[in-house]
Amino acid sequence: MNSLLLTGGRVIDPANHLDAVVDLLILNGKIAAVGKDAATKAPGEIERFDAKGKIVCPGLIDLHVHLREPGQTAKENIATGTAAAARGGFTSVVCMPNTSPAIDNAGTVALIHERAAQHGVVNVFVTGAITKNIAGEELASIGSLKRAGVVAITDDGHCVQNNELMRRALEYAKMFDLPVMDHCQDYSLVTDGVMHEGYWSTVLGLRGWPSAGEEMIVARNILLAELTGARVHCQHLSAAGSVALLREAKKRGVPISGEACPHHFTLTDAAVSGSEKFWGNDGKILAKFQNGEIPEWPAYDTNFKMNPPLRSARDREAILEGLADGTIEILCSDHAPHCDYEKEVEFDYAPFGITGLETELALSLMQLVHAKRISVPDLIAKYTVNPARLLNLQKGTLGVGADADVTVFDPDREWIFERDETASKSSNSPFFGWKLKGRTVATIVNGKKLWIEQAELAPV
């Protein structure tokens, strides 16, 4: 019957301004009661879960995930990607449309919904492409995509370079009440860069990718959001200038928002030079969180190649400040799996991207909560109510009557992320072997326990 009583946990629900040690009752897949009297409303034979010493919160939402289905299932598929999400504590994921074929029509949206219903173990929401085939030349049928059930439109993995076309996309999106999520990259500035343009790109002899390549499009999006009134969300921000632009625009009331990924506020471009030099250059930043316990890695490790690239220590600090002061409202992974053989090439030729669903909660806790930059409720809000509001999802709350999507985690649990423990098809993560602090204890979707510590349970 999908019923469960969670007892003794610290229940944090930012959507309802709740932070207290109380019980949580789930009946028939819905939240039935939250409070010290919840146990009195439970049937006598109900299953109980002892959450004492743990944090109980709304199911976490990751609004930036690449599930690679259809067409790229050697890297990941809906079954493995959602299994990785469950291990990471995520009950809902939003998949990006840069698949093969791209999700630019109602038929492909229907296919994803069907596959997710058959093989997904967490909730899967779908984004549609802004342009046909994500080519940046002709608008996709935005109204048709809306009717098919997409929650946003984006050309993620690509960026619309034509400003007039982007303006029309925003106007259509506003008509259909769809947010537009944009991968901010000016191709004429970035050209063929493979890592952040700065000291380390010069030392390593790699083509540089200037921060201005991101900041230029963030500025463009702010101007277009102000012009059209459409909601624009800037994806995976990495540059200090982007944070400054976003902060100023939000003060003016522009309908603009942004997200950050843990790799951008944990690592810097020095990581590409190898662990020894990385430790010497920016290691003090990490040492206070990890007691100096990081594994070794070689220079030019392609698992440190992502889009946008790892940036300087100054940029990293600006992202952290933006998260702390609320300029950046949402956290996500940009989970981007690739096959081993694709990454095992020269740095120049490797694809951009890393996996992240299983490590993002721990890294966020370490860099934000344990570092005393933000509170636990603020962190949870960035993974629950904030993305739910942006995408108009009926998720991210423990209100009575809501779907019983619940995450239970221990913020102080120390563990090591091992390669053979990942549920993803791919293993392109730079964090294997790292000592992490904070781990999911249980992931519950519609009242069903999908993940309990290290034992994965098949959905009923």
Catalytic residues: 334
Strands (E) in 232-358, as ranges, are 232-234, 256-260, 330-331
Strands (E) in 145-197, as ranges, are 152-154, 180-182, 195-196
| Measured distance CA(33)–CA(41) in Å, rounded | 8
| C-alpha dist (Å) from residue 398 to 1, 59, 112 | 19, 9, 27
H-type helices in 24-89, by residue range? 78-88
Q: Are strands 232-234 and 256-260 parallel, antiparallel or unpaired?
A: parallel
| Measured distance CA(427)–CA(1) in Å, rounded | 36
**How far, in whole angstroms, is CA 150 from its chain's centroid?**
18
| C-alpha dist (Å) from residue 97 to 87, 256, 258, 265, 443 | 23, 21, 19, 25, 26
Q: What is the DSSP letter of 457?
A: -
Q: Contact at 8 Å (CB) between 183 and 161?
A: no
| Measured distance CA(109)–CA(248) in Å, rounded | 36
Cα distance from N-terminal residue to C-terminal residue, the chain = 10
Within 8 A by CB and 6+ apart from 257, the residues are 231, 232, 233, 234, 246, 250, 329, 330, 390
Token duo for residue 384: 């629950």
Element (H, E) at 108: helix 106-119
| Measured distance CA(14)–CA(311) in Å, rounded | 31
| C-alpha dist (Å) from residue 76 to 101, 293, 366, 416 | 15, 30, 27, 23
Torsional class of 447: left (φ above 0), alpha (ψ -120 to 50), beta (otherwise):
left
| Measured distance CA(329)–CA(389) in Å, rounded | 11
Strands (E) in 111-175, as ranges, are 123-128, 152-154
